[in-house]
């Protein structure tokens, strides 16, 4: 009996192998359709890679803060945004267009879409050796604020007077540089912003951005942060604005 069972099983197994290619084909087609479907609905946006190591900006921002900020906070904005827009008409918009019409979107899209836009900008406008503003960007800074130092003073004031969580911004409005701040994850691209324009520099003043190293001393964080501003990237954004 045991032997017969063994033979039966073996025969069944080889029969299964014989028909496997046909079954396997339709099965794998079905799987790839499912994958395409979930990729379309679940992952419109992805966490961007940092253009430097987590410890690259330690002169201003510690490694652990950078790592948690990027892999936990930013990742959560990306995941929540993807989930919130899945299967809705908002899914077909570019991130910039989503920002420009954000008043029509639910609060969760405003918070997490803004979070994704703002952090994607934030990582790029920082660098280990970010240089200094020059050329047309420096001219525009001097023309709007008299000097780089006065621009920094105004920006720092915007960062310090933003109560609670938010961002300070240097943005282009009608061809001119201006400074503003926004609450939560709002930004100057949004139609709900008090001061609208194209951001070229932004500073995250949520406590999660500085608390491990600076605790309550937001002013020290803001002052130190200028050492890691990537002025080449700011100039690029200014030229494109």
**Closest separation in Å from C-beta 43 to Mn ion:** 21
**Closest separation in Å from C-beta 118 to Mn ion:** 7
Residues contacting residue 201 through CB under 8 Å, at least 6 positions apart:
125, 155, 169, 170, 229, 234, 237
Closest to Mn ion by CB, 127 vs 209, is 209
**Closest separation in Å from C-beta 184 to Mn ion:** 11
Closest to Mn ion by CB, 155 vs 206, is 206
Binding mask 164-203 for Mn ion (x = CB under 5 A): ----------------------------------------
Closest to Mn ion by CB, 78 vs 140, is 78
Binding mask 46-85 for Mn ion (x = CB under 5 A): ----------------------------------------
Sort 163 into a burial class: Cβ within 10 Å, 0-12 / 13-18 / 19+. Answer: exposed
Report d(CA 67, CA 139) in Å as an integer: 35
Minimal CA–CA distance to 188: which of 133, 236, 118, 237? 118
Closest to Mn ion by CB, 165 vs 227, is 165
**Closest separation in Å from C-beta 213 to Mn ion:** 14
**Closest separation in Å from C-beta 209 to Mn ion:** 5
Residues contacting residue 184 through CB under 8 Å, at least 6 positions apart:
111, 114, 165, 166
Report d(CA 186, CA 180) in Å as an integer: 11
Contact segment (CB under 5 A) with Mn ion among 11-19, 102-110, 129-137, 206-214 equals 206-214
Q: How many Cβ atoms from other residues are within 10 Å of residue 200's Cβ? A: 24
At 185 the three-state DSSP class reads coil
**Closest separation in Å from C-beta 204 to Mn ion:** 4
| Residue choice 110, 158, 204, 221 for contact with Mn ion (CB under 5 A) | 204
Find the distance separating the first CA and the last CA of the chain, reported in whole Å: 81
**Which residues are near Mn ion by CB under 5 A?**
204, 206, 209
């Amino acid at each position: 009996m045991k032997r017969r069972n063994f033979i039966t099983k073996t025969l069944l197994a080889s029969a299964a192998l014989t028909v496997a290619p046909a079954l396997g084909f339709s099965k794998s087609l079905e799987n790839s359709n499912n994958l395409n479907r979930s990729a379309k609905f679940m992952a419109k946006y992805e966490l961007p890679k940092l253009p430097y190591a987590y410890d690259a900006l330690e002169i201003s921002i510690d490694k652990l803060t950078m790592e948690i900020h990027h892999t936990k906070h930013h990742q959560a904005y990306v995941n929540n945004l993807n989930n919130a827009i899945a299967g809705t008409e908002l899914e077909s918009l570019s991130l910039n267009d989503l920002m420009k019409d954000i008043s029509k979107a639910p609060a969760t899209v405003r918070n997490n879409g803004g979070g994704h836009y703002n952090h994607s900008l934030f990582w790029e406008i920082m660098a280990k050796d970010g240089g200094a503003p020059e050329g047309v960007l420096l001219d525009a800074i001097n023309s709007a604020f008299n000097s780089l130092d006065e621009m920094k003073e105004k920006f720092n004031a915007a960062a310090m007077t933003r109560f609670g969580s938010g961002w300070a911004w240097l943005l282009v409005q009608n061809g001119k540089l201006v400074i503003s701040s926004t609450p939560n994850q709002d930004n100057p691209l949004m139609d709900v912003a008090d001061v609208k324009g194209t951001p070229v520099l932004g500073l995250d003043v949520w406590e999660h951005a500085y608390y491990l190293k600076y605790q309550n001393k937001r002013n020290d964080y803001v002052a130190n942060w200028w050492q890691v501003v990537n002025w080449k990237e700011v100039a690029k954004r200014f030229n494109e604005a």
